[in-house]
Amino acid sequence: MARKLMKGNEAIGEAAIKAGCHLFFGYPITPQNELPEYMSKRLPEIGGTFVQAESEVAAINMVYGAAGTGSRVMTSSSSPGISLKQEGISYIAGSELPCVIVNIVRGGPGLGGIQPAQSDYFQSTKGGGHGDYKLIVLAPSTVQEMVDLVQEAFDLADKYRNPVMILGDGMLGQMMEPVEFKEREIKKVDHSSWATVGMGDREKPNIVNSLYLDPQELEDHNHKLQRKYDEITANEIRYETYNCENAEIILIAYGTTARIVQDVIPMAKEKGIKLGLIKPITLWPFPYDVFNDYVDSTKAFLSVEMSMGQMVEDVKLAVNGKKPVHFYGRSGGMIPTPEGILENVIEVLGGLE
Amino acid sequence: MKHEVIIAGFGGQGVMLMGQLLAYSSMLEDKNVSWLPSYGPEMRGGTANCMVIVSDRQVASPLITAPSALVAMNLPSLTKFADSVKDGGVVLYNSSLIDEEYQRDGITSIGLPFNDLAVELGNARVANIVALGSLLSATDICDKDSVIDSIKSVLPERHHHLLPLNEKALEKGLSLVN
Amino acid sequence: MQEAAHGRAPAVATGIKRAIPESIVFTYQGDGDLASIGTAEIIHAAARNENMTVIFVNNAIYGMTGGQMAPTTLPNQRTTTSPRGRDVSSAGNPLKMAEMLATIDGPAYIERTTVHNIKGISRTKKAIQKAFQNQVDKKGFSLVEILSTCPTNWGMTPVESLSWLEDNMMEYFPLGVYKDIEEEK
Ligand SMILES: Cc1ncc(C[n+]2csc(CCOP(=O)(O)OP(=O)(O)O)c2C)c(N)n1
């Protein structure tokens, strides 16, 4: 199929539609506006439904309701709006509902700014809402990867009855790249055993709920969720590695930042420095184990982020004290430059000798 | 082969479209491309810019710190980006709106009256297409025919009567630099 | 000045006013802000009759974010999220905030004005003055809804937008005083 030049935000919309998502509930916020705008145009054309909610709080609860019927549903926002959605996300996770939530991250905290950032790593991967729950968090770094991951996100959500978050940033949402929508079959999943689709022939009504007043019941529910999270961790970890064999320093970066790091590798090589890159694609579950493959051969790890240092905590857990773990980040919408990263690498190396 | 182009100007000068056409045309020639816009309030009235990378290898960072070519449609854009153009690079600036001369060792810098030329062609709004033509002749990023194909796909059907004008504007631009 | 999260200004203003009752507190809110995400906050500030002043700018669109449908977007009005025009059967009906808030027992004064012509501007000035004087006189919650234009996001010239406001918005959002406790006495 021919490649199309598409803006990241719009490509997400088209990918979702091609994955069988016919319901979208959104609310305007920069830098993700093109996604709800695209859905408002496209969904009616295919018999789907777009609703601009009165707030992010309402939008995520519309998602809760629609997901509770077993329908493929998506919402999107950017950081401050995602913060508002956290209550609903906790309910969705607690009620084990499948849905896809897109976060096109901008700088924070508070109202912050509108330029790209990665400072929502914590609120995405560690549970931004209350309670013990996990989202599957997918971090694309190109528009094509975003398209592929959005489509997979719906399958993962259905398979595990779990919310999936696509964690992008303002740059990925705004940029255009060629994309190809690969023909893929929409995996129809039978949700009738739990979804609120009418009584049918059932004896008992299906109830979508996250309330367990009996502590033992709630603990059992948490254990059940945990078993599911263990299964996801066993099956769904994704990452890519570049040049990690015998790298002096291994950089860890995801999303846009991983692309910038890819430009640093040849620059470092010219200076005689061998750099590797681990690019996590699932931020939760985080690819802790891959670090074991390289921890003996490398001198140090450097986490590069558009934040004040969030993923670096997972890197430290992964490295487990066996080698030094460093951090380099820009924040507030400032984007690390290849030159800035290289300078930091040299500093780290100097400190080692 | 890797071209890293910054196109900048006022919001409303069509710099975003110019970049999209460049990316689109190069994609039609099976190259790897990325188009990264500035966004936000600055777009209204202030300066807008986009960064286009065209490469025969996969595009890693879409962000350009040292462009191989700059098209500056107004003075703030020239001031902001011209000094970052790398050795051997090209600066094309809109002398209809920029009175100053910009010259620097190691680069090719040419002032061209894009607005005036567009007016001569009968429509001030094709200044961006004239500029795109001049960029193509200065850099050989992609073929004229690909640009015409992409204008056809980008321009809504109801504006297709403007195609001949756009083609003329492109040719005008192509004739400016040799 | 304190900057509030989108829609929450009436709650923030309540906090300020309750902390320093003698301070003069006003909020400045758009229609997306006051009539969409912040509907709960404005209704409850009015219901509590918080002694504050609300300047509510209704331009029938989300301006800051680039022209999406607002709760006050008119039926059939095109925006970036109602590209075929607002279809009230799925996108709902515009909210008339001045009328709605006037049904609440709390507020002292609610008026809708316009700034698309000289007469409207001078009326708006008076209304704003009154809304602040009420606060000084401890009369309670006062709100002025001001119809205004957004040429950029309406896709019009400034001059065209003035007549669009007059021809379309004023019919749906009639000007006038919707509540005034002084007159009720
Ligand atoms: C929680 C949250 N959601 C969304 C936004 C994005 N946002 C900024 S201003 C705005 C509304 C703009 O419309 P309006 O209130 O009508 O004011 P106008 O810009 O038209 O004056 C929105 C949705 C935000 N800042 N915070």
CB A90 within 8 A of CB A106: no
Partner A contacted by B71 (CB < 8 A): no
Residue B46 has pLDDT above 80, yes or no: no
Q: Give the domain extent around A290.
A: 241-352
CATH number at residue C148: 3.40.50.970
* Ligand 1 closest atom vs CA A29: 6
Domain definitions of chain B by residue range:
2-176
* 3-state SS assignment for residue A34: helix
Q: Which residues, including other chains, have CB under 8 Å from residue A95's CB and lie 6 or more apart?
A: A64, A68, A208, A209, A210
Are A54 and C39 inside 8 Å of each other by CB?
yes
Nearest Cα residue to A311 out of A120, A171, A109 = A120
- A187: exposed, middle or buried (Cβ count in 10 Å: 0-12, 13-18, 19+): exposed
What are the C-alpha distances in Å from A29 to residues A82, A88, B66, C2, C93? 10, 18, 31, 21, 22
Do A207 and A245 lie in a common domain? no
* 3-state SS assignment for residue A125: helix
Instruction: Evaluate: CB of C33 within 6 angstroms of ligand 1.
Output: yes
Q: Does residue C4 form part of some domain?
A: no
DSSP labels for chain C?
Answer: -----TT-HHHHHHHHHHHSTTS--EEEEEHHIIIIITHHHHHHHHHTT-S-EEEEEE-SSBTTTTSB--TTPPTT--BTTBTT---HHHH-PPP-HHHHHHTSSS-SEEEEEE-SSHHHHHHHHHHHHHHHHHHHTT---EEEEEE---HHHHTS-HHHHHHHIIIIIHHHS--EEEEEHHHH-
Partner A contacted by C94 (CB < 8 A): no
pLDDT classification of B155: cutoffs 50, 70, 90: confident
Give the model confidence (pLDDT) of C119-168 as tens digits.
999 999 999 999 999 999 999 999 999 999 999 999 999 999 999 999 99
Q: Does residue C2 form part of some domain?
A: no
Do A199 and A302 lie in a common domain? no
DSSP B93: E
Upper half-sphere CA count for residue C64 (Cβ side, 13 Å): 13
The residue to which tokens 């931004």 are assigned: A128
Measured in angstroms, how far is the CA atom of residue C60 from the centroid of ligand 1? 13
Instruction: Evaluate: CB of C63 within 6 angstroms of ligand 1.
Output: yes
Question: Most A CBs within 10 Å: which of C68, C77, C78, C150, as the mutation test of the A interface?
Answer: C68
Q: What domain count does chain A have? A: 2
For residue A110, the chain C residue with the least C-alpha distance is: C5
Give the model confidence (pLDDT) of C39-51 as tens digits.
999 999 999 999 9
Residue B43 has pLDDT above 80, yes or no: no
Chain A hits for B35, CB-CB cut-off 8 Å, are: 5, 175-177
The residue to which tokens 């607690």 are assigned: A94
Do A250 and A189 lie in a common domain? no
Instruction: Give the mean model confidence (pLDDT) for residues A15-23.
Output: 97
Partner A contacted by C81 (CB < 8 A): yes
Question: Most A CBs within 10 Å: which of C79, C81, C89, C97, as the mutation test of the A interface?
Answer: C81
Chain A hits for C84, CB-CB cut-off 8 Å, are: 44
Residue A1 has pLDDT above 60, yes or no: no
Give the model confidence (pLDDT) of C74-127 as tens digits.
999 999 999 999 999 999 999 999 999 999 998 999 999 999 999 999 999 999
* Ligand 1 closest atom vs CA A55: 3
pLDDT classification of B53: cutoffs 50, 70, 90: very high
CB A266 within 8 A of CB A243: no
Give the model confidence (pLDDT) of A81-93 as tens digits.
999 999 999 999 9
Give the model confidence (pLDDT) of C26-36 as tens digits.
999 999 999 99
Q: Name beta bridge partners: B111.
A: B93
Instruction: Evaluate: CB of C94 within 6 angstroms of ligand 1.
Output: no
| Ligand 1, atom 5, residue with closest C-alpha | A29
* Ligand 1 closest atom vs CA A28: 23
Measure CA of the first residue to CA of the last residue in chain B; give whole Å. 20
Q: Give the domain extent around C14.
A: 9-184
The residue to which tokens 């390289």 are assigned: A294
Give the span between the Cα atoms of A184 and B24, in whole angstroms.
Answer: 26
Instruction: Evaluate: CB of C67 within 6 angstroms of ligand 1.
Output: no
- The CATH architecture annotation of domain B2-176 reads 3-Layer(aba) Sandwich (3.40)
SS3 track for A70-93? CCCEEEEECHHHHHHHHHHHHHHH
Upper half-sphere CA count for residue A36 (Cβ side, 13 Å): 31
Give the span between the Cα atoms of B171 and B175, in whole angstroms.
Answer: 6
- Among residues A218, A235, A252, which one ends one of the domains? A235
pLDDT at residue B47, as a whole number: 81
Chain C hits for A41, CB-CB cut-off 8 Å, are: 83
Q: Would you state the structure tokens that stand for residue A101, as one six-digit string? A: 């939530």
Q: Would you state the structure tokens that stand for residue C83, as one six-digit string? A: 């590209």
Residue A352 has pLDDT above 70, yes or no: no
Mutate to test the pocket of ligand 1, among C8, C34, C56, C62 (most ligand atoms within 8 A of CB): C62
Please report the sign of the dihedral spanned by the C-alpha atoms of residue A2, residue B170, residue B22, residue B152. Answer: negative
Instruction: Evaluate: CB of C152 within 6 angstroms of ligand 1.
Output: no
Residue B29 has pLDDT above 90, yes or no: yes
CB A250 within 8 A of CB A301: yes
For the stretch C68-84, what's the b/e string if a residue is b when 16 or more beta carbons lie within 10 angstroms of its beta carbon? bbbbbbbbebbbbbbee
Upper half-sphere CA count for residue B167 (Cβ side, 13 Å): 10
Measure CA of the first residue to CA of the last residue in chain A; give whole Å. 52
Measured in angstroms, how far is the CA atom of residue C6 from the centroid of ligand 1? 6
Q: What domain count does chain C have? A: 1
Give the model confidence (pLDDT) of A26-48 as tens digits.
999 999 999 999 999 999 999 99
Instruction: Give the mean model confidence (pLDDT) for residues A304-312.
Output: 98
Measured in angstroms, how far is the CA atom of residue B178 from the centroid of ligand 1? 49
Residue C57 has pLDDT above 90, yes or no: yes
Q: Would you state the structure tokens that stand for residue A204, as one six-digit string? A: 């008992």
CATH number at residue A72: 3.40.50.970
Are A259 and B61 inside 8 Å of each other by CB?
yes
Q: Name beta bridge partners: C28.
A: C55
* Nearest CA distance, A202 vs chain B (angstrom): 53
What are the C-alpha distances in Å from B29 to residues A55, B145, B147? 44, 10, 10
Measure CA of the first residue to CA of the last residue in chain C; give whole Å. 35
Q: Where are the beta strands (DSSP E) in A10-117?
A: 23-26, 49-52, 73-77, 99-105
Which residue in C37, C62, C80 is closest to A54 by CB distance? C37
Are B39 and A114 inside 8 Å of each other by CB?
yes
Do A294 and A219 lie in a common domain? no
pLDDT at residue B178, as a whole number: 75
Measured in angstroms, how far is the CA atom of residue A185 from the centroid of ligand 1? 38
Do A256 and A228 lie in a common domain? no
Q: Name beta bridge partners: A73.
A: A23
CB C86 within 8 A of CB C175: no
Partner A contacted by B61 (CB < 8 A): yes
Instruction: Evaluate: CB of C30 within 6 angstroms of ligand 1.
Output: yes
Which run of H or E residues covers position B3?
Answer: strand B2-10
Q: What is the mean pLDDT of chain A?
A: 97
What are the C-alpha distances in Å from B144 to residues A258, C66, C133? 34, 34, 67
Instruction: Give the mean model confidence (pLDDT) for residues A183-202.
Output: 91
ipTM of the assembly?
0.95
Instruction: Give the mean model confidence (pLDDT) for residues A249-254.
Output: 98
Lowest-pLDDT range of A126-135, B60-69, B154-163, C145-154: B154-163
